[in-house]
Structure 1
Amino acid sequence: MSNSQTLTALVQWLAGEFDNRKQAFEQPAWFVHLRLWQRPLRQRIQGKLALFAEQANALYLNQPYRQRVVVFSENDDRLQAQYLALKHPNQFRGAGADTDLLNKLEASDLEPLLGCVLDITLQDNMFKARPLPESKCCFEYEGTTRQVVLGFDVGLNSFASYDRGVDPETGQALWGALMGPYEFSKCEDFAAELPE
């Protein structure tokens, strides 16, 4: 399989609506029941495939959060994912489930998140995405610098998120995958929405 075919397969596997119901019911003290949308953008970003991602507590599906756009590329025979922030995230709240709203998103609505790049490898029918060495993914939120450690594994119908917020000064984990990854199953496939 060529790199471009591998990249397309990666984005197809990631494109969907996911739920961690089983994990949340088995370990409710450690894992909130979440719904995750990773929906293809109708247009490419700088010629590259991209997904809009957001999640919501399953009890409050009308209050999604953590909106971001992930752009996929091949660099020097390596697959990478670059995370972008929305300049006005509230403007696109709910776009993971609402394609009419998502279709209003333009490249001008996005801004880069420095240090928020993952290297992706294919191992045993699973894509594994991990941060670049020595990189720090930081952003400003309510006047404070926040840091997130990103990472995921994706299979044909499964997605594991290692994302966790950390204190940028101490490195102490604050939220997210504190007791291991959030383990999602795909409940709806959006691969057919990928642009040609």
Structure 2
Amino acid sequence: MSDLQASRNSLMKMLSGSFSNQQQAFDNPPLYAHIVVRFRPAPQLAPGSLLLEQAYAIAPNEPYRICVLRPWICPERGLVILNFNIRDGQRFGGAVDDPERIAEIQEDDLLLLEGCTYLVSAADNGFEGTVEPGCRCVVKRKDRTTYLVSSFVLHPEGMETIDRGYDPDTHEHLWGSIAGAFRFTRTGDWSGEIPEHWLH
């Protein structure tokens, strides 16, 4: 197994779980909403496919973000995370808690989000990644078209993320973190659900 394959496997395992920024939200309620982020393997899809749901803790089964992320080895760019939209994704809201509903998602439901691939590198005991440059990761927010600038640091205990949206013409910061990174603690582990054949 190559170093890149080993890194991809570690990234898959480290992502597969649930995360919460409860402590940060309680400590700084004006600045940080309480958010839960959950990544769960979708074994019927191509290797590496993780269903991602991101929701406010008061409504965990009504995610405001639902997609499929897929750690991948790209010949030109090394370790990356591909980002897929799910057609009519809201019909799968809350599926992250129900493997039978996850199993209903098919490869044909996925649409690769151009410009939204994360470029990933190994960091201290974990990984760090940023959305590829070019301002092409388009996100609709409150009827406005914006582009996403996003980064993360992932480690065994949790992760830190920064997501910000900008105006494509003026590059004005329109939404997202003002006070710094969201700090998530791992609250659950689904790495045991990764199919064995994904790891080879």
Could you list the runs of 4 or more consecutive aligned residues of structure 1 that deviate by over 6 angstroms after TM superposition?
Answer: none
Return the alpha-carbon distance in structure 1 between the equivalents of residues 105 and 35 of structure 2. 24
Where does residue 68 of structure 2 map in the other structure?
69
Hey, what's the Cα distance between the residues in 2 that align with 1:103 and 1:61? 20
> Tell me, which stretches of 5 or more residues in structure 2 are unaligned?
none
Q: CA deviation at 1:142?
A: 8.2
TM-score by length of 1: 0.90
Relative to structure 1, the CA distance from residue 133 to residue 165 in structure 2 (aligned partners, 3 Å threshold; closer, same or farther) is: closer
TM-score, normalized by length of structure 2? 0.89
Note if contact 1:127-1:154 (Cα within 8 Å) is conserved in structure 2: yes
Among all aligned residue pairs of Structure 1 and Structure 2, give the percentage whose two residues are the same amino acid.
29
Which residue identity does 2:60 align to in structure 1?
L
Q: Which moved more, 1:91-100 or 1:6-15?
A: 91-100
Structure 1 residue 96: Cα displacement: 1.8
| Worse-matched range after superposition: 177-186 or 159-168 | 159-168
| Residue range with higher mean Cα deviation, 185-194 or 89-98 | 89-98
Change (3 A) 1:103 1:34: same
In the alignment, structure 1 segments of 5+ residues that lack a partner are none
Q: 2:31, 2:141 → 1: CA distance?
A: 25
Superposed CA deviations along residues 78-102 of structure 1, whole A, max 9, x for unmatched, are 1001111111112111112222211
CA change 1:17–1:49 in 2 (3 A) is same
Specify whether residues 89 and 146 from structure 1 end up closer, same or farther in structure 2 by C-alpha distance, changes over 3 A only. Answer: farther
RMSD: 1.9
What do the CA deviations read for 1:134-184 (whole angstroms, capped 9, x no partner)?
A: 242014578753322222110012111212222222222233322211110
Does structure 1 residue 35 correspond to structure 2 residue 10? no
Indicate the residue corresponding to 2:53 in structure 1. Answer: 54
